[in-house]
Amino acid sequence: MPRPAGRGAPFTREMKVKAMDVSRNPGSQKRWRSSLLTGMAILLASVGLARATPANDDEDAYERVVASPSWRSFSRLVSRNYVRPIKAGQLEASCKTSVASQSSQDHASRIERCFQAALGGLDSTSHYFNAAEWRVLRGDTPNKLAGIGLEMKTHAGGDGLVEVVSPIKGAPADRADLRAGDLIVSIDGTSTSSLSLAQSVNALRGEAGTKTTLQVRRPGVPELLKFVVAREPIKMMTVGSAKLLSPGVGYFRLLQFQDRTRGEVLADVAKLEADNGGPLHSLVLDLRDSPGGLLTATVGLAALFVKPGAVVVQVSGRNTAMNRIYRAVPEDYAGNTSAQIDAPARPSLQSLRLVVLVNGKTGAGAEALAKALQESRNAVVLGQPTSGLASIETIMPLEFDTALKLTMGAMSSPNGMSWQGRGIVPDILVSVDEHGKGELGEITTDKQLMAAIARLKRP
């Protein structure tokens, strides 16, 4: 399959991009980057907002929008590159509905609203970022350097609410007991249904020490919950826990996959082996509640455990630049950084017994890693069926400091299996009561972890 080339093209690809309410740090923008695509630079340069005077009363606002060069370029870009064919007139229908709901807006504002509506009609993750939103997501907000430590996404229920993907371990939101799956109904009195995802992220940011008040709907709890959380600078964690469960048996919980995660795992393996007095013979890899992260980071993690050159994940899309087989080789996971190349694999990891824990909040890159280890490494996958997210979104900067996030590709396993919409069914099903489960990784109360340990004791 063709490989993306041209490292200087103005795109970034990330596995399941999610907005983060984290403070700006040197690695924050790396989360947006995985590998670069080519072939659309000329198109991108032409997708700018028409800076025209407001429409005259006798002009049809919708017809002006769809006749504009900005809309034509946008429509062409999206139609050619979206992961699935788009029905004729689908984008225009969303635009027309949006224009009908607007009042007293100038032409440029109508175009922006049409961009947003058209992408929102495709799926819950494709999105148009206006200049203010794009600055927030890039971290270009120097006066707002603190947050509460949540990874969030737009709720798939169509209500416009914001869903918590995962609280960052140890961050204010985690300490306040916000949980994966919680729906944020309002932020400081403003309904999240009236905000874009980027605006919700921005609302959670502020000066360190200030507080934000959230109303939250929690599955299984009839009344709304109220949280008052103080903002503070957030340090991103990728490895939530690394410890010995018993002599020779290690445990890792991966929260998300970033450029540095591979090196952090290797450093923790070295510490565990030192504590153990020798190499590990078994490992429990906990991917529960993990949304994954960067595509290259996913490949780099898999490369620690599978044979060199083994297929990790296949990516396909209507744009041939997306089509690629990612293997366990440095050029497929190191990208432009030297950090991952400087962290060579430990051969012992490729021979130890491996159990992978998953649940309904294991998504995207974490699902890809679990499936790769299951197929290419004969790892035992244990827990509950995963979330079934196999799409890849691409961030495309546009003119006027705006950007577009578009679902352009889909992942499949080394053997060509898609888990989109169906999830990955574990080899060993172990169900738990979501509201009665113990803390993840706690050996005395975590039912699924106890089952993993029991499985490793079998010959």
- Note the pLDDT tens digit of each residue in 120-144: 899 888 999 988 888 767 766 554 4
| 125 and 170 together in one domain | no
Contact (CB, 8 A) for 373 and 379: yes
Contact (CB, 8 A) for 305 and 373: yes
Last residue of a domain, one of 101, 132, 163: 132
Chain-centre distance for alpha carbon 18: 4
Secondary element (H or E) of residue 6: none
Last residue of a domain, one of 71, 97, 132: 132
Q: Given this model, what pLDDT does residue 108 score? A: 86
Scan for tokens 């020779």, then name that residue: 248
- Over residues 178-188, the mean pLDDT reads 94
| 244 and 322 together in one domain | yes
The amino acid at 185: V
Chain-centre distance for alpha carbon 360: 15
| 195 and 87 together in one domain | no
More confident residue, 311 or 52: 311
| 100 and 225 together in one domain | no
* Total domain count, the chain: 3
Stretch among 109-113, 194-198, 247-251 having the lowest mean pLDDT: 194-198
- DSSP E strands: which ranges in 17-125? 19-20
Q: What is the mean pLDDT of the chain?
A: 82
Residue of 448, 430, 449, 438 lying closest to 385 (CA atoms): 430
Look at residue 338 and tell me if it is in a domain: yes
DSSP 350: G
pLDDT at 50 over 70: no
Question: What CA–CA distances, in Å, run from 177 to 187, 240, 382?
Answer: 16, 16, 26
Question: What is the rounded distance in angstroms from the CA atom of residue 19 to the CA atom of residue 154?
Answer: 9
- 384-414: per-residue pLDDT in tens? 999 999 999 888 888 778 999 999 999 999 9
| 292 and 424 together in one domain | yes
- Over residues 199-225, the mean pLDDT reads 93
Name the β-bridge partners of 396: 404
Look at residue 384 and tell me if it is in a domain: yes
Last residue of a domain, one of 230, 249, 280: 230
Question: What is the rounded distance in angstroms from the CA atom of residue 195 to the CA atom of residue 203?
Answer: 9
Question: What is the rounded distance in angstroms from the CA atom of residue 106 to the CA atom of residue 61?
Answer: 9
Tokens encoding 179: 């949980």
Residue of 129, 137, 146 lying closest to 211 (CA atoms): 146
pLDDT at 171 over 80: yes
Q: Is 429 helix (H, G, I), strand (E, B) or coil?
A: strand
Q: Exposed, middle or buried, 95 (CB in 10 Å: 0-12/13-18/19+)?
A: buried
More confident residue, 32 or 335: 335
Domain of 154? Answer: 146-230
pLDDT at 102 over 80: no
Question: What is the rounded distance in angstroms from the CA atom of residue 368 to the CA atom of residue 313?
Answer: 7
Look at residue 138 and tell me if it is in a domain: no
Name the β-bridge partners of 20: 151
More confident residue, 251 or 12: 251
